[in-house]
Amino acid sequence: MEFHFIARGFDRYKRRLVFRPGELVVWDDIVLEPMTDRTTGWVVGRVRLEDEEDSHEVFAISVDQEVAGFTDGSGYFSIDPVRAGKLRVSAQKPGYVGMNADLEVASGRERACELVGYRKRFAHVRWAYQPDGTRYFDGDTATGTAVVSWSKPYCVSFAKGFEQSNHGRSDFAISQVKNQLVLSHPDASRSKKEASIRIRDNGFEDVFEAPESGYTQSEAILRPGDLYVFRCYDGKHYAMMEIVDITTESPPRKRR
């Protein structure tokens, strides 16, 4: 286990330790040294939004989740000094994602970056789930409509009526990379079963049976008109979901 001690204006202190049952660990040698030119660099850059060529507002700039400065009226910033090494520079704006950059700053050197904010995307979907364990989407199939996006909760379980949560078993998850929504299978390493297949030749009403094979655990970019068939987390049930539309407007969540 490695502990990191951080204080503004001081170099980072870290200590790697191995804890054993019944041992009492006492530290009496923690000394934080002030940052110097030999242990710091500086970061310069700009913040802009995807739908604006030039920013006209002031953003707070954080370094490793601690506010370190602000942009000017055009979105430019300079943070000096920062600790040399790996760090994350970020800004925030409600309704936007992606305004961060992971950098490695060398001692005595300048590091430039650009933080681009992308409007949060929402996908309108309709779905069907077969609870009887067959591959056929008929009979007592559970169906509904929903909205998914990258905002906690973002993991979905069909068996629970398309319940969206940020914990527990899930059949798929949604993230946003720049201006695109991405479907993934975060529990695949545990279940070894959850996977999906994208079908583009048939519409929602035309698919009556889940394919026997062809499922993948790879990520996929969501696009309107795509239809996904899922092999669920337990490997015994099947579901499907059609992407009706993707928008930047925040709609009310609907379930039925």
* pLDDT tens per residue, range 20-61: 888 888 877 788 888 888 889 999 999 999 988 776 789 999
- Which pair of tokens denotes residue 145? 């409509």
Q: What is the pLDDT of residue 252?
A: 60
Boundary (domain end) residue, out of 69, 90, 119: 119
Answer yes or no: do 128 and 84 share one domain: no
Per-residue pLDDT of 156-174, as tens digits, reads 999 999 999 987 789 999 9
Q: What percent of the chain has pLDDT over 90?
A: 64
Answer yes or no: do 231 and 213 share one domain: yes
pTM score: 0.82
Within-domain flag for 190: yes
Answer yes or no: do 87 and 184 share one domain: no
Answer yes or no: do 167 and 139 share one domain: yes
Number of domains in the chain: 2
Answer yes or no: do 225 and 156 share one domain: yes
- Domain limits for position 67: 36-119
Answer yes or no: do 243 and 128 share one domain: yes
For the chain, give the DSSP string: -EEEE--TTB--EEEE----TT---------PPBP-TTTEEEEEEEEEETT-SS--S--EEEETTEEEEE--TTSEEEEEEEESEEEEEE---TTEE--EEEEEEPTT-EEEEEEEEEEPPEEEEEEEEETTSSSB--SS-EEEEEEEESSSS-EEETTTTSEEESSS--SEEEEEETTEEEEE-TTHHHHS--EEEEE-SS-GGG--B--SS--B-S-EE--TT-EEEEE-TTSS-EEEEEEEEEESS-PPP---
Within-domain flag for 6: no
| 107 contact partners, CB below 8 Å, separation of at least 6 | 37, 38, 39, 40, 41, 84
110 and 130 in contact (C-beta within 8 Å)? Answer: no
Per-residue pLDDT of 116-142, as tens digits, reads 999 999 999 999 999 999 999 987 899
79 and 111 in contact (C-beta within 8 Å)? Answer: no
